[in-house]
Structure 1
Amino acid sequence: MRILHIIRTINPEAGGPAEAVRTLISYKDLGYEGEVLTQDDPNAPYLKGLPFPVHALGPVNSTYGYTSKLIPWLKKNRSRFDGAVVNGLWNYGGLAAYRALFGEIPYLVFPHGMLDPYFKSAYPLKHLKKLAYWLSAEYRVLKGANYVLFTSQAEKELAEKTFPIYRWTPHIVPYGADTPRIQKAEALRAFYDHAPELRGKRFLLFLGRIHPKKGVDLMLQAFAQTAALDPELHLVIAGPDQVGWRHELQTIVDKAGLTSRVHWPGMLKGALKWGAFYACEAFILPSHQENFGIAVAEALACGKPVLLSDQVNIAPDIKADSVGLVEADTLDGTLNLFRRWNALSADERTQMYKQAPITFRTRYDMKENAKIILGLFGKELKKHPLNNSES
């Protein structure tokens, strides 16, 4: 089956949605041939050497990503595909897909958490703009989709609270990450070559965008207040600084006298990323909003427990499996994550390490997501044979 993924950007620095698309397209053994349509600049360096076709119709001048090329391209090429997946909301790709694909080929929408009411309270002015766009465009995109995909019951229920009206066909799909495609020893060697100062160190790992939504400030404040409990424990904060926040965060570290115990290795990809997961004691994510958190699944795949806020939508799974710790997305809650991790016995930690890969295999293997997407498209194609009109 040939599927088109429509996404604003495939840049790895964009976070989870871009990583999810890259992972899904890799499952060719399922008969899943994928192509990607983006509003990226075709000369962007991250497009070089990708193992799948990318049609980059940028550059564009805004995050909305309007380009007059999008609808004509979709109309010209839609007959080559069995279906399309719109990844993310609030950009022109969704509206273009609705206008070019509705009634022609099946399309699914993956909101990737972008309907969470957190954004309504955190960014009220932006929400007003989104409300206008919702009434004029985005609602039609979702209503017209064959299915709107949510990664959990919690994400689905939260999405229904964001706007005054909604009507779509929801479907909950398992979500997660790919298994590491590299040997542990090779990944560790690459990571320590990149960050030799961490060789032999024990550390907790944060890996993701350095953004206020992720609670990085809470994490540093909590580490500063609990550092004396375990003087040998370090903290690694890996990821792109998208909003220029690093200088302010470094001030917290320096004032606490922890400059030598907090490390900023930058964005880690490929072997470096997997090496960081294998090297850490546990993964920490005190996020204020996370519809899933691919890095959570990646940590579990590497056999590592996870320390989460209760605003990560899969936190109930983590508690149910006793494969990590969950607290509120507040300073007190984040303090508790550090304190409780420090207080765990060796046997309790060992049990979490054993459970982590089991939880990954049973709940978060991304290949199951790909199978379900193919099944949904197959179901729709049986109901409605393709209309390959080029009008």
Structure 2
Amino acid sequence: MNLLRVISSVNPKGGGPIEGVKQFQAPLKALGVTVEIACCDAPDAPWLASCGLPTVHALGPARMGYAYTPRLLPWLRANAPRFDAVIVEGLWQYHGLAVRQALAGTQVPYFVFTHGMLDPWFKHTYPLKHLKKWLYWPWGEYRVLRDARAVIFTCEEERLLARQSFWLYRANEAVTSFGTSSPPGNGDELAQRFLASQPQLQGKRIVLFLSRIQEKKGCDLLLDAFAQVAKRDASLHLLMAGPDQTGWAATLQAQAQRLGIADRVSWPGMLQGDDKWGAFYAAEVFCLPSHQENFGIVVAEALACGKPVLISNKVNIWREIESDAAGFVDTDTVDGTVRNLQRWLALDASGYAAMSGRARQCFAERFHIQRGAERLVGIVGESLK
């Protein structure tokens, strides 16, 4: 099977969509699937060389926030017949509309991964942006979804929430599992190397946040909550790792200063490769009090490293985490985040070890990327019969 995955950008700072493409690459190859990537990046974009994907067609540069590039549509029309199917990664940018236009009247089906971009949280939080999307929806994204062979969601919660954003909605829905690959096995070595590069963390009980520094991730909630529990143990330290795309980190750092915890919070920026895995292994617990999270690959990565996860019930895999007792779940509020931290701190050594084991088991049974790849091939394969 030959697949073309079309995405607005392969920049790793884009978060979930490109990370999902990367995670699927190896298991799809093992299943005999050949994958190429088309994106709207400029051919000289600095992140292309290190994106870790074998065949990337950079058809930009893109214009404005819509990621429009005039090269994409003719390229798709010329090259789509080489593929059994095309997968659109994400919504609200030009690449989805271009795929629909290019494949209209052809025998090549396309599929859409929404990556949580139909979550009603956006409607309630940004009503003016939602109104702007409504102006585009009837002739744009609605038709992209309507004409797709299937619209693929990464969990049942995401599928149900997607129906609440726009009353004009029609799609052939499918659900696949999602997740990540197994982490490196030399966890102790990676943790020690990471701690050597971050001496302020040595001897600390690390609470790890690893995601984009942005409003929907609940970073401000975590700072407030951490300030309330920090006095319980002088060795507690909060590690806020992730790219700051909006300049919000300075505001958050000022918040930490006002709360009196500035010296107990570290901001290493975006962590990748061994540094990322070293942070996971060095941490005692992972915390993501997000207001909206389609899946949360970082949650699966934490579980894979045996780390209990403290998440909000707006992370769409919260039911699975709660069912497997692989962490603690509460509301996306300061009080909810405090309760999660307190429940973790109340664990004794044997209780923590048991939860750590359940975290690894939860990952292996639910969120290993191999399961998602097999399901994705099944969804596409069924449509080709």
> Normalising to structure 1: TM-score of the pair?
0.95
- 1:10 aligns to what? 10
- 1:86 equivalent to 2:99? Answer no
Cα distance in 1 between the residues matched to 2:82 and 2:259: 58
- 2:44 aligns to what? 43
- 2:56 aligns to what? 54
The Cα shift of 1:257 comes to: 2.4
- 1:120 equivalent to 2:123? Answer yes
1:278 corresponds, among 271, 281, 290, to: 281
- 2:250 aligns to what? 247
**CA 1:43–1:193 in 2, change beyond 3 Å: closer, same or farther?**
farther
Secondary structure, aligned partner of 1:351 = helix
Cα distance in 2 between the residues matched to 1:274 and 1:374: 29
Greater Cα shift, 115-124 or 94-103: 94-103
2:100 corresponds, among 89, 92, 98, to: 98
The Cα shift of 1:197 comes to: 2.4
Amino acid at match of 1:9: S
CA distances 1:218-255 after superposition (whole Å, capped 9, x unpaired): 00011112211122110000000111011111112112
Cα distance in 2 between the residues matched to 1:8 and 1:195: 34
Cα distance in 1 between the residues matched to 2:378 and 2:337: 40
Task: Report if aligned partners of 2:174, 2:379 keep a CA contact under 8 Å in 1.
Answer: no
Greater Cα shift, 205-214 or 361-370: 361-370
Amino acid at match of 1:16: G
Cα distance in 2 between the residues matched to 1:153 and 1:371: 17
Secondary structure, aligned partner of 2:133 = helix
Cα distance in 2 between the residues matched to 1:39 and 1:255: 42
Task: Report if aligned partners of 1:25, 1:35 keep a CA contact under 8 Å in 2.
Answer: no
The Cα shift of 1:29 comes to: 1.4
- 2:77 aligns to what? 75
Amino acid at match of 2:38: L
**CA 1:111–1:51 in 2, change beyond 3 Å: closer, same or farther?**
closer
Amino acid at match of 1:66: Y
Secondary structure, aligned partner of 1:368 = helix
- 1:21 aligns to what? 21
Q: Percent identity?
A: 49
The Cα shift of 1:212 comes to: 0.5
The Cα shift of 1:106 comes to: 1.6
The Cα shift of 1:376 comes to: 1.9
Cα distance in 1 between the residues matched to 2:193 and 2:287: 22
- 1:198 aligns to what? 201
The Cα shift of 1:186 comes to: 4.0
Cα distance in 1 between the residues matched to 2:67 and 2:342: 44
Cα distance in 1 between the residues matched to 2:186 and 2:84: 36
Secondary structure, aligned partner of 1:265 = strand
CA distances 1:276-304 after superposition (whole Å, capped 9, x unpaired): 11110010000000111000000001111
- 2:295 aligns to what? 292
The Cα shift of 1:181 comes to: 4.0
2:272 corresponds, among 253, 265, 269, to: 269
Could you tell me which runs of 5 or more consecutive residues in structure 2 were left unpaired when the two chains were aligned.
Answer: none
Secondary structure, aligned partner of 1:362 = helix
- 1:32 equivalent to 2:33? Answer yes
The Cα shift of 1:193 comes to: 4.0
Amino acid at match of 1:347: S
- 2:325 aligns to what? 322
Task: Report if aligned partners of 2:63, 2:69 keep a CA contact under 8 Å in 1.
Answer: no
The Cα shift of 1:189 comes to: 4.0
Secondary structure, aligned partner of 2:353 = helix
Secondary structure, aligned partner of 1:85 = strand
Secondary structure, aligned partner of 1:252 = helix
Amino acid at match of 1:4: L
Task: Report if aligned partners of 1:25, 1:52 keep a CA contact under 8 Å in 2.
Answer: no
Secondary structure, aligned partner of 1:47 = coil
> Normalising to structure 2: TM-score of the pair?
0.96
State how many pairs are aligned. Answer: 382
- 1:215 equivalent to 2:187? Answer no
**CA 1:339–1:185 in 2, change beyond 3 Å: closer, same or farther?**
closer
Greater Cα shift, 145-154 or 209-218: 145-154
- 2:174 aligns to what? 171
Could you tell me which runs of 5 or more consecutive residues in structure 1 were left unpaired when the two chains were aligned.
Answer: 383-391
The Cα shift of 1:199 comes to: 2.6
- 1:338 aligns to what? 341
Task: Report if aligned partners of 2:188, 2:281 keep a CA contact under 8 Å in 1.
Answer: no
Task: Report if aligned partners of 1:186, 1:271 keep a CA contact under 8 Å in 2.
Answer: no
- How do residues 145-184 of structure 1 correspond to structure 2 at under 5 angstroms? 145-181=148-184, 183-184=186-187
**CA 1:108–1:181 in 2, change beyond 3 Å: closer, same or farther?**
farther
Cα distance in 2 between the residues matched to 1:222 and 1:331: 6
Task: Report if aligned partners of 2:89, 2:115 keep a CA contact under 8 Å in 1.
Answer: yes
Cα distance in 2 between the residues matched to 1:36 and 1:66: 17
Cα distance in 1 between the residues matched to 2:224 and 2:373: 39
The Cα shift of 1:156 comes to: 0.8
Greater Cα shift, 191-200 or 108-117: 191-200
- 2:372 aligns to what? 369
Task: Report if aligned partners of 1:182, 1:271 keep a CA contact under 8 Å in 2.
Answer: no
- 1:138 equivalent to 2:141? Answer yes
Cα distance in 2 between the residues matched to 1:56 and 1:307: 38
Cα distance in 1 between the residues matched to 2:69 and 2:107: 21
- 1:66 aligns to what? 68
Greater Cα shift, 215-224 or 339-348: 339-348
Secondary structure, aligned partner of 1:46 = coil
Cα distance in 2 between the residues matched to 1:43 and 1:182: 35
